[in-house]
Amino acid sequence: MEQEYQEKQEGRLGTFLKPLADREFQYLSSLVYQYCGINLHEGKRELVRARLCKRLRELNLDSFVDYCRYLQEKNPPEEITLLLDTLSTNLTSFFREKQHFDFLQRELPNLLRQKKTKGSSRLRLWSTACSSGEEPYSMALVVAEAIVSTGVHCDVKILATDISSSMLRRAEAGCYSQERVKDISPALKFKYFQYEDGQYTVNPELKKIIAFRKLNVIGPWPFQGPFDVIFCRNMMIYFDKETQLELVGRLHQCLTEDGYLFVGHSESLIGISHAFRHIQPTVYQRI
Ligand SMILES: C[S@@+](CC[C@H](N)C(=O)[O-])C[C@H]1O[C@@H](n2cnc3c(N)ncnc32)[C@H](O)[C@@H]1O
C-alpha cells in the first residue's frame, strides 16, 4: 500500500516532465527486465518517466531518445546500475510486517533447541532483497534475543543481498535516524545501537553476524545454503509469474528440510506450483 502510494505520487509529478514515447519506454523496460526481472508494464510508464528525468538532467540530456541512444551506443556498465537504482522501489522499515518477526520470535527457540539436540550449531538466514538494511538487522535482533533467552549458543550468519549498490552501502553503514528506528523497542535500541548526534548506529557485535553482498536474484548464486530461514519480501511483486516461479523453485532448493520462506504482504505462492506447506499468510515451510 505505502509502495503504491509513493509510486502514484511520483507518477503525478511526471505531468511536468519530458515525454516518454512507446519506443523508448519499450526499450527501457525490456533492458530492465532482461537485467533484473523487474516487469515495467504500461502502468509503470509515468513512474519511469518521473524517476528518470532526474537522471537525464544529471547527464545533460534533452530527451529519452538521447538517453536510449546513450545506453545503446556508449553502453556504460555503471549506467545500468544507476538506472536500476533510480527505478527500483526501496521502501523498507524495521520490523516491517511485524507478524513475521513475531513468528520468528516464537519459532527460533524451538529451532535452536532442536539443533542442539542434533549436535548442530549452524543457523543460516538470508534476506534476499535487503534494501537499506532494516530487514536483516530486524532479523539479527530477533536471533540475538533468542540466543540470549535460550542460552543455546550457535554459529549464526545472516546473508543480506540486494541488486542496488547504493542501498547496500547504506545497509552496511547501519546508521539510522530517530524516525527510522521508531519501531524498535527502547530496550533493544539501548542494547544494540549507539546513539550520537541524532543517529542510531548498529553495534559492531550485531553487524558482525550479517554479510552484505551485491546479488541479482535472477542471476547465478555463488552459494548453495542451506538456509534455515529465507526472507524474500516485497521484491517478487515486481517480477512476472514466470520469473517468480523460477525464483521460488530455486529458493526451495536452498532451504534446509523444514526451512521457512517468508514473502511480502502482497505476494503469495498461490498459482505457483511449489513444495511448501502453508503455515500462515505469507509464511511457508519447505516440505
Ligand atoms: C521494496 S524493497 C524490499 C525491502 C525489504 N525486503 C522489505 O520487504 O522491506 C525491494 C528491493 O528489491 C531489490 N531488487 C529488485 N530487483 C532485484 C533483483 N533482481 N535482485 C536483487 N534485488 C532486487 C531492490 O533493489 C529493493 O531494494
pLDDT of the residue at 8:
54
Our mutation pick for probing the ligand 1 site, out of 213, 216, 235, counting the most ligand atoms within 8 A of Cβ, is 235
Residue 224 has pLDDT above 90, yes or no: no
Distance from C-alpha of 59 to C-alpha of 211, rounded to nearest angstrom: 34
With contact defined as beta carbons under 8 Å apart, do 255 and 273 qualify? no
Average pLDDT, the chain: 92
How many angstroms is it from 131 CA to the middle of ligand 1? Answer: 6
Closest CA to ligand 1's atom 27: 131
Q: Residue 47: pLDDT above 50?
A: yes
Q: Report the DSSP beta bridge partners of residue 263.
A: 232
Candidates 81, 88, 89, 98: which one to mutate for ligand 1, based on the most atoms within 8 Å of Cβ? 88
Q: Whose CA is nearest to atom 16 of ligand 1?
A: 36
Residue-wise pLDDT tens digits, 63-80: 999 999 999 998 787 898
197 included as an active-site residue: no
Q: ipTM score here? A: 0.99
111-123-172 Cα angle (round to 5): 130
Task: Spell out the domains of the chain, with CATH numbers in brackets.
Answer: 2-87 (1.10.155.10), 98-286 (3.40.50.150)
Q: How far apart are CA 29 and CA 25, in angstroms?
A: 6
* Span 218-231, average pLDDT: 95
* Given the residues 45, 49, 51, 96, the one annotated as active site: 51
Is pLDDT at 16 greater than 60 in this prediction?
Answer: no
pLDDT, tens digit (0-9, with 9 covering 90-100), for 163-218: 998 999 999 999 999 999 999 999 999 999 999 999 999 999 999 999 999 999 99
> pLDDT tens digit string along 107-134?
999 999 999 999 988 999 999 999 999 9
Establish whether 51 is a catalytic residue.
yes
Q: Tell me how far apart the alpha carbons of residues 67 and 15 are, in angstroms, rounded to a whole number.
A: 19
Query: Which atom number of ligand 1 is nearest to the Cα of residue 164?
Result: 25
Whether 98 has a pLDDT exceeding 70, the answer reads: yes
